[in-house]
Amino acid sequence: MASKNVHLSRRALGIAATALLAGAALPVQAQDAYPNKAIRIIVPNPPGGTSDVLARLIGKELGETLKQPVIVENKAGGNGHIGASFVAKSAPDGYTLLLMDMSNATIGPSVAQLNYNPLKELTPVTMPAYSPHLLVVRQDLPVRNIDELAAYARKSGKPVSFGTPLASISQLAGILLAQNKGFEFNVIGYKGGAQALADLAGGQIDSAMASVLATNPLVQGGKIKAIAVTSAKPFAATPGVPTVASQIPDFVTGSWQGLLAPAGTPPAVLDKLQATVQQIVARPDVAKRLAELGSEPSDMSRQKMAEWMQAETVRWAKVVKDNNIKAE
């Protein structure tokens, strides 16, 4: 009888073990089936901006490729941090994603009290696109490049005014540029970059720095003058404009558009999203549309993006501390 009980116990254990293994396999099967419902891409800015346009472009193609609806939802406010926090607190299942200008994620911790940690509560998926900044000046300012701007600033007897949203990537990049060239900007704070560019076109300020998407129409319309681009090499959308990096080695800034998910999202889901988005932005028709927006495709992997986020957060924290930068 004892041996029969032992036999039954072993059989019961075997059944239990089989059930546990089957249960352990369920998450893998669920990941293999991803996605099986609609995906949301949260844009933490109002409609019409670079992140919004890119999210809608990628979302349409992503939905067609993955055979599930992709809904783009704007959650603006707090310089992008309201929408980013919402995604950081969402379920890590791959169905709520964030597409944002990565400068908000890398500068934010140094200039604001955030209710989330971008480096710990968000995980990179991929960096689908990059758009450099243009350093632009009023049309009648007698300078053609940053060396001439620096010389003009030193000779004029008063600082060159520089319009920018405060505690933004454009303000920090402008400070770095001026320090490297031995002069100082008179920073004029604005609520948004569009207002600064409008005043620049009207001749009320001397200079500004903003994305190619925002500045190029005004440059091409003869309203303002581009004197430098912040890409590592000459940028196709701004032919003839010299790079800052040609005069200040390794000076590269801009609008890095990143796709992120809540921390803890399964690696298999992240890999599938990364591969799909990278295939989408590499297509000639999508690359052409990105060029029209003043951007170019990026193939930065999620591993490289995580390293980049760490390095950029450290880089801008130093600039913020050294220059006592305050948020609005």
Q: What integer pLDDT is reported at residue 178 of this predicted model?
A: 95
Cβ burial of 250 (10 Å; 0-12, 13-18, 19+) is exposed
Q: What integer pLDDT is reported at residue 32 of this predicted model?
A: 64
Residue % of the chain over a pLDDT of 70: 90
Q: What integer pLDDT is reported at residue 112 of this predicted model?
A: 87
- Asked, as a colleague might, if the bond just before 35 is cis with ω within 30 of 0, I would say yes
Digit-coded pLDDT (tens) for 98-128: 999 999 899 999 998 899 999 999 999 999 9
Strand partners, 95: none
Q: What integer pLDDT is reported at residue 328 of this predicted model?
A: 62
Query: 3-state SS string over the chain?
Result: CHHHHHHHHHHHHHHHHHHHHHHHHHHHHHHHCCCCCCEEEEECCCCCCHHHHHHHHHHHHHHHHHCCCEEEEECCCHHHHHHHHHHHCCCCCCCEEEEEEHHHHHHHHHHCCCCCCHHHHEEEEEEEEEECEEEEEECCCCCCCHHHHHHHHHHHCCCEEEEEECCCHHHHHHHHHHHHHCCCEEEEEECCHHHHHHHHHCCCCCEEEEEHHHHHHHHHCCCEEEEEECCCCCCCCCCCCCEHHHCCCCCCCCEEEEEEEECCCCHHHHHHHHHHHHHHHHCHHHHHHHHHCCCEEEEECHHHHHHHHHHHHHHHHHHHHHHCCCCC
Token pair in block for residue 295: 């951007």
In the numeric block, the tokens 């001439």 are attached to: 148
Domains by residue range for the chain, with CATH: 37-130+255-323 (3.40.190.150), 133-246 (3.40.190.10)
**For 72-85, what is the mean pLDDT?**
92
Please tell me the distance from the alpha carbon of residue 214 to that of residue 200, in angstroms, as a whole number: 13
Q: What mean pLDDT is reported for the chain?
A: 88
What is the CA angle 135-183-238, rounded to 5? Answer: 15
What is the greatest pairwise CA distance in the chain?
104
Digit-coded pLDDT (tens) for 279-300: 999 999 999 988 888 899 988 9
Digit-coded pLDDT (tens) for 187-232: 999 888 889 999 999 999 999 999 898 898 899 999 999 999 999 9
Whole-model pTM: value is: 0.81
Digit-coded pLDDT (tens) for 163-181: 998 888 999 999 999 999 9
Please tell me the distance from the alpha carbon of residue 110 to that of residue 305, in angstroms, as a whole number: 19
Contacts of 323 (CB under 8 A, 6+ apart): 175
Token pair in block for residue 287: 């690359």
Digit-coded pLDDT (tens) for 230-257: 999 999 999 999 999 999 999 999 999 9
| Total number of residues shown for the chain | 328
**For 287-314, what is the mean pLDDT?**
92
Evaluate the CA torsion angle 173, 175, 177, 179 in order and state its sign.
Answer: negative
Residue type, 158: K
